[in-house]
Amino acid sequence: MASLRDIQTRINSTKKTKQITNAMQMVSASKMNKAEQNAKSFVPYSEKIQEVVASIANGGDVPKHPMLQAREVKRTAYFVITSDRGLAGAYNSSILRTVYRDIQARHQSKDEYIVIAVGRVGRDFFAKRDMPIAREITGLADQPNFADIKDLTSETVQMYIDEEIDELNIYYNHYVSAISQEVSTTKLLPLTNISTEGKQLSSYEYEPNQEEILEVLLPQYAESVLYGALLDGKASEHAARMTAMQSATDNANDLIDDLSLSYNRARQAAITQEITEIVGGAAAQE
C-alpha cells in the first residue's frame, strides 16, 4: 500500500494538472466562439459566389471551362486539414483514419495520388508513412485570414487547371456543435455538382462577357471553398480541444476524490495502528 506521503504527492500533482487542463478548456472555449463566428460570417459570401457561379456555369451558350469538365482520373489530390497540436481528442485521428482508409482502397501506387497537408499533425502522419506530400502548410493562426493560405489554395487550383491532378477531394472536421464534430469529405474539383435546381437566382448582366468572368470567378470560388473548410475545421478543432480538456478536468476531479479517500483510509489506519501500539505497550507494563 502506498505511503501517506506518496498519496499526498499524487494528489498535489493531479491538482496542478487539473489547473492546467481547466485553463486550457477556458482558452479553447474562447477561441471556439471566435472561430464559430468566423465560419458563420463566411457563409453568406460563400453562398453568394456559388449562386453567381452556378448562374453563369449553367448558361447554355457559355463555353465549358476546364474546371467544370470531368476527365479521366489519373492522379487524385487529397486536401487534408488537421491541427498543429494534439490534446484535441479524436479530432485528428478521425480525419487521418478516414483519408488513409480511402487512399488505401482507391489507389495501388503512390503515383496515383498526392496529399496537400494543412497542419503539422497531418503532415507528420503522411511523412512517416512515406506518402507523397505535394504541398504543406503549418503554423496557421487560431483565427486564420485568407491571406494566410492564399498561395496554397491558388497553387492547388492551378494544379488542376494545368492537369497535374484530375480530381481534388477535401477532408476536414465539420463543426456541428460545441460537443459534436463529424468528418466531412467533399469532391471540390471538377465542379460538376454546381446546380441551380430549387434555387431562386438573381438576374445578372455581365461585362465584358461570361466567358472571361468564369476565368476569374471559378478559381476564386474553389479557393473560397477551401478557405471555408479551413474555418470550419478550426472551429471544430477548438471545440474538440475544449471538450477534451473538460473531460480531462473531470477525470482529474474523480482521481483527486479517489486519492483523497485512499489518503483518509491510510491515515485512519495509521492512527489506529498507533493507538493499538500505545494500548499494547501500556498493558505490557501493568
* Crossing angle for the helix pair 146-161 and 210-285, to the nearest 10 degrees: 130
Whether residue 201 is predicted with pLDDT greater than 60 in this model: the reply is no
Residue 12 has a pLDDT of 92
Whether residue 196 is predicted with pLDDT greater than 60 in this model: the reply is no
Residue 284 has a pLDDT of 72
pLDDT digits 0-9 by tens, 125-183: 999 999 999 999 999 998 999 889 999 999 999 999 888 999 999 999 999 888 888 99
171 contacts: CB under 8 Å, gap ≥ 6: 78, 79, 80, 81, 95, 98, 99, 183, 184, 185
Fold of 25-243: Pyruvate Kinase; Chain: A, domain 1 (3.40.1380)
| Cell numbers found for residue 50 | 456559388
Q: What residue spans define the domains of the chain? A: 25-243
pLDDT digits 0-9 by tens, 246-282: 999 999 999 999 988 988 888 888 788 778 777 777 6
| Cell numbers found for residue 218 | 471559378
User: pLDDT > 70: what percent of the chain?
Assistant: 90
ω into residue 132 within 30 of 0, thus cis?
no
- The pTM of this model reads 0.84
Sheet holding 133-137, edge to edge: 133-137, 113-118, 76-81, 167-177, 180-189
Residue 63 has a pLDDT of 56
DSSP, collapsed to helix, strand or coil, labels residue 133 as: strand
pLDDT digits 0-9 by tens, 34-92: 999 998 899 888 888 888 787 776 665 555 677 888 888 899 999 999 999 888 888 99
Residue 194 has a pLDDT of 66
CA-based nearest residue to 83, from 12, 29, 34, 144:
144
